[in-house]
Amino acid sequence: MATQSVSRKFLTMNDLEKNYNPKRTEDKIYEMWEKSGVFEPKIESSKKPFTIVIPPPNVTGSLHMGHALNNTIQDILIRRSRMKGVPTLWVPGTDHAGIATQNVVEKELAKLGKSRQDLGREKFAREVEKWVQKYGDIIIGQLKKLGCSCDWSRQRYTMDSDYVEAVKAAFLHYQEKGWIYQGERVINWCIRCQTALSDIEVEHRQVDGKLWYIRYQIQKSNLKNQNENVKLKNYITVATTRPETMLGDAAVAVNPDDKRYESIIGQTVIIPIVNRQIPIIADQSVDPKFGTGAVKVTPAHDPSDFEIGERHKLASIKVIDETGKITQIKPQGFDFTGQKVLEAREKIIAELESQDLLEKIQDYTHQVPHCYRCGKKIEQLLSKQWFVKMKKLAEPAIRAVEKGEIKFVPERWEKVYLDWMKNLRDWCISRQIWFGHKIPIDGIDDVLDTWFSSALWPLAVLGWPKKTDDLAYFYPTTVLSTARDILYLWVARMIFSGLEFTGQKPFEIVYIHPTIFNIEGKRMAKSLGTGVDPLELIDKYGADATRFGLAYINTGVQDIRFDEKAIIAGRKFANKIWNIARFTILQMQNDIVKFKIELKTDDDKKITQSLNHLIASVNNDLDNFRFGQAAHSLYDFIWHDFADGYLEASKKEKNPEILLYVMVTTLKLLHPFMPYVSEEIWQKLYEQKLVAEKLLISAKWPEAG
């Protein structure tokens, strides 16, 4: 509470607008904060810092509602921590997002009828650079509009020069450990993007397909030992969803315990059309209950077939190339070379039918892999790529979470993380796209998976591999707030990277925020016309309204059906607060203010008691990431207890000190949620010498007494 001041220049009604006006407030206030230097923490070695690194938005486009929610959450945590007097750092930045950004630039070029190949690498790189510059700036501008109190002096980009060094250092480190290797195996290949993808960059979508039952002739000379079940048959039937891959079959596999086929294991069958001889083999991985219990094995085009192939030393015959066309496999009398997969499939089916080798066709709905960036079907094919061995990296990452050193909020995500981490395959890190970090090996012109660089974010932004003061003081960071869809792609990889390179976890708490859907429960997407632009909301209702509305509906649920009504309620609330302040300020001028808290009436006692409860519950809620609950308590107290109750009553029985005390305290509690209106009011109070601290953003946070 401020000390008594004798010389106050009283404001009149006209000095305070009747309604809160965000547009006349926000930019002015933000500039004031920025100039004051409060966003940039000072290192105080005696105090434990509070650090957040922003999940760097992709420079593919502007921010969406998920970003608005996540950055509101982070700013709430940051502002509260700062007000508590803790050295508080929020590192901002952007991600080059290799494949995603390359794709959006390619889409732009396509509008002009051009491809990246038309431009060539150099010109294309310049186009990408222009895009990155433009959208990088847009994103930073949006974060500022939202009111994010990031330390802009520490702003980073995943391809700035220091970051390139960090990526190199990480790669070399893995190499020295012997964890980087080049291998030829079946990987996910996007025909449109022309690159390999890791397993988690593939989306499985349900597709209505067919199951074709095809007869493979058993070699006549081997038919002597037939048993009861196959006595009358001279063929074995396999079921497949991809008949065209039979061009590359290397075996027919059955389960070793499958009595039906016991007697013919080891015999030879002839692939129809291809006329090549392949063995019938027994492999544990075959499910006797599916289809006929016999499966054609195509090691070059299916990861599990590849493994069967390795176990049985089968040849891998690549029949589909990187453009999604049939290779120069020329069975006698046929030539499918250069034909698209579906085209070849049709011809093969027709030929099988004419040879009476197609037993039946079933409708079959199954999961088919698609590219997570361009949405096109993935081909699984044999390819030489670079991998990181995961076993040694996963172990400490599992332990850190199991021992509770890293906690997930909500807790249930811990299990999701661990399940994935315990069943990791090696990480395919090479990409054949043009935009990204070059693999630091001479003569290799591939780039790295964009997530290889994102995985280093918490350490790289603080200076690693250099031993900087920032790294020593602000690492490990405190909270990582993010969306659930990048739990594996990003969060898991930051955990093992952080532990490997520093021996310390990258963050203490992973907060997984709700996903925002539209009111029908559908994904918000610009392309579907279901997106809501947070900037438009800020323009219409103000940043505070947008932030408060988002915080208010974030009650810890998994999904949010976004309803603009919440933001409208936020706007009204901002206005309500403004008017409470207006009333209070005018009240202060009419009465002598002693700045001494004296509880005279029952109303005084009641309101200060409720306020104390409010402080306790807001603190408790925020300690536990219960943003919605905290917002609800603030709303209910301020509107109903304070305005409808105490303020009305105070018109009859005056106690301006209490009025001011409650006002000032609620402004502090509200500031992380609604920084602009609260600071704007604070400035009026400061001018009136009704508060002592110059800025609310750095005023002392209330604790329950």
Partner RNA sequence: GGGCGCUUAGCUUAGUGGUUAGAGCGACUGCUUUACAUGCAGUAGGUCGGGGGUUCAAAUCCCUCAGCGCCCACCA
Torsion of CA 457, 463, 464, 469, to 10 degrees: -130
Burial (CB < 10 A; 0-12, 13-18, 19+), residue 443, is exposed
Residue 66 within binding range of RNA, rule CB under 7 A: no
Residue 521 within binding range of RNA, rule CB under 7 A: yes
Largest CA distance in the chain: 115
Q: In sequence order, what E strands does 61-147 have?
A: 88-91, 93-94
Nearer to RNA, 319 or 461 (CB): 319
Write each residue from 257 to 296 as x if it is in contact with RNA (CB under 7 A), else as -, in one continuous string.
----------------------------xxxxxxxxxxxx
Nearer to RNA, 445 or 485 (CB): 485
**Rounded CA separation 571/562 (Å):** 16
Rounded to 10°, the helix 656-670/602-623 angle is 10
Binding region for RNA (CB under 7 A) out of 123-131, 549-557, 597-605, 655-663:
549-557
**Residues in contact with RNA, total (CB under 7 A)?**
75
Binding region for RNA (CB under 7 A) out of 146-154, 387-395, 439-447, 638-646:
638-646
Residue 603 within binding range of RNA, rule CB under 7 A: no
Contacts (CB under 7 A) with RNA, residues 153-212? 199-200, 203-204
Strand, coil or helix: what is 430? strand
Residue 318 within binding range of RNA, rule CB under 7 A: no
Nearest Cα to 185, choosing from 306, 94, 70, 22?
306
In what helix (H) or strand (E) does residue 239 lie, and over which residues does it extend?
strand 235-240
Question: Is the alpha carbon torsion for 205, 207, 212, 213 positive or negative?
Answer: positive
Residue 517, φ and ψ in degrees, nearest 5: -110, 170
Contacts (CB under 7 A) with RNA, residues 455-484? 484
Residue 334 within binding range of RNA, rule CB under 7 A: no
Nearer to RNA, 294 or 448 (CB): 294
Burial (CB < 10 A; 0-12, 13-18, 19+), residue 31, is exposed
- The answer to whether the CB of 406 falls within 8 A of the CB of 495 is yes
Give me the least distance between CB of 206 and RNA, in Å please.
8
- Residue in 279, 303, 396, 440 binding RNA, rule: CB under 7 A: 303
Question: Which residues 6+ apart lie within 8 Å of 256 measured at CB?
Answer: 265, 282, 283, 284
Residue 632 within binding range of RNA, rule CB under 7 A: yes
Residue 644 within binding range of RNA, rule CB under 7 A: yes
Give me the least distance between CB of 108 and RNA, in Å please.
27
Nearer to RNA, 55 or 463 (CB): 55
**Rounded CA separation 144/210 (Å):** 52
**Rounded CA separation 699/621 (Å):** 20
Nearer to RNA, 443 or 521 (CB): 521
Contacts (CB under 7 A) with RNA, residues 19-48? 19-20
Residue 312 within binding range of RNA, rule CB under 7 A: no
Residue 697 within binding range of RNA, rule CB under 7 A: no
Nearer to RNA, 59 or 638 (CB): 638
Contacts (CB under 7 A) with RNA, residues 357-396? 366-367
Distances (CA, A) of 595 to 654, 685, 690, 691, 692: 14, 13, 9, 10, 11
Burial (CB < 10 A; 0-12, 13-18, 19+), residue 528, is exposed
Give me the least distance between CB of 110 and RNA, in Å please.
27
Give me the least distance between CB of 200 and RNA, in Å please.
6
Q: 118-154 b/e with 16+ CB inside 10 Å = b?
A: ebeeeebeebbeebbeebbebbbebbbbbbbbbbbeb
Residue 589 within binding range of RNA, rule CB under 7 A: no
Contacts (CB under 7 A) with RNA, residues 119-158? none
Contacts (CB under 7 A) with RNA, residues 214-243? 238-242
Q: 574-596 b/e with 16+ CB inside 10 Å = b?
A: bbbbbbbbbbbbbbbeeeebeee
Binding region for RNA (CB under 7 A) out of 44-52, 134-142, 221-229, 301-309:
301-309
Residue 486 within binding range of RNA, rule CB under 7 A: no
Residue 649 within binding range of RNA, rule CB under 7 A: no
Residue 500 within binding range of RNA, rule CB under 7 A: no
Nearer to RNA, 311 or 694 (CB): 311
**Rounded CA separation 439/171 (Å):** 8
Contacts (CB under 7 A) with RNA, residues 399-418? 412, 415-416
Residue 580 within binding range of RNA, rule CB under 7 A: yes
Give me the least distance between CB of 303 and RNA, in Å please.
6
Nearer to RNA, 118 or 591 (CB): 591
- Residue in 133, 153, 219, 558 binding RNA, rule: CB under 7 A: 558
**Rounded CA separation 141/152 (Å):** 11
Residue 371, φ and ψ in degrees, nearest 5: -70, 130
